[in-house]
Amino acid sequence: MRAIFMIVLVAVGLLMSNGIVWAVGERAAAPLRDAEGKVMGMALFVQESQGVRISVTVKGLSPGEHGIHIHAVGKCEPPDFLSAGPHFNPTNRKHGLNNPEGPHAGDLSNLVVGEDGSAVYEYVTDRVTLTPGELSLFDEDGSALIIHAGPDDQITDPAGNSGARVLCGVITPMKGAALRVGGLLPTLLLVTAVALVVWLLLFR
Ligand SMILES: [Cu+2]
Ligand SMILES: [Zn+2]
C-alpha cells in the first residue's frame, strides 16, 4: 500500500515538474548599461519553438537607426565594451543580414529609436539557442547584447560600420531556465525528497 502510494506520488510529482518547466521554458535577460554603468534598457530572451525571441526596451539613445548584435563574450567592461569581443559567430560566417556570405549568428536587424530617444524592439532568430548546443548563447565565456552609436549597414564585415559600442548587457539565464538545464536527475532527486517528506509526515 505504502509502496504504491510512493510510486503514484513520484509519478505525479514528475509530471507536475515537467509541466512547470514546459510552461516556463528557457529565458534570459540582459540589463543594458552605458559607459557610466547606468541601466538604460533591458533585453529579454525567450526560447520558442521557432527560435529565440529577443525583446528590447531602451531609452536615452540618439534618434534613428542603431546597430544591435549579440557579441561573443559575456563581459561588459566600460567605457568601450571591447571586452565583449566580436559578433557571436559559431558558424564562421561573414557579417550582415544582406551579406551573401553571412550572417553571423549574432547579427540582428537595426534598432529604430524615436524622437524621444526610446525604442521598443523585437526580433526572432533561429541562429542562436538558449538550450545547450553549438548555437547556445551560454557557451564557456557567455554572450553579451550590444547597441551601437550608428546604423549597421548589414553587409560590411566584420561589424557593419555601426560605430562605437554605447550600451552593453551580459546575457544571463533567468530562474525558470535553471530547472530545465539541471536536467532529469536533479528533478528526480527533488521530487523524491518531497515525496519522502510527505510520506514521513503521513505515515510515521
Ligand atoms: Cu555589435
Ligand atoms: Zn555581425
Rounded-to-integer distance, Cα 196 and Cα 199, Å: 5
The ligand placed nearest to the CA atom of residue 108 is 2
pLDDT digits (tens, 9 = 90+) for 132-143: 999 999 999 999
Distance 202 CA to ligand 2 centre (A): 59
Distance 60 CA to ligand 2 centre (A): 24
Answer yes or no: 141 catalytic. no
Answer yes or no: 87 catalytic. yes
Answer yes or no: 66 catalytic. no
pLDDT digits (tens, 9 = 90+) for 33-63: 999 999 999 999 999 989 999 999 999 999 9
pLDDT digits (tens, 9 = 90+) for 79-102: 999 999 999 999 999 999 999 999
66, 148, 152, 180: the active-site residue: 148
Domains and CATH numbers, the chain: 26-174 (2.60.40.200)
The ligand placed nearest to the CA atom of residue 96 is 2
27, 33, 66, 165: the active-site residue: 165
Nearest by Cα to 152 from 160, 164, 141, 163: 160
pLDDT reading at 178 higher than 60: no
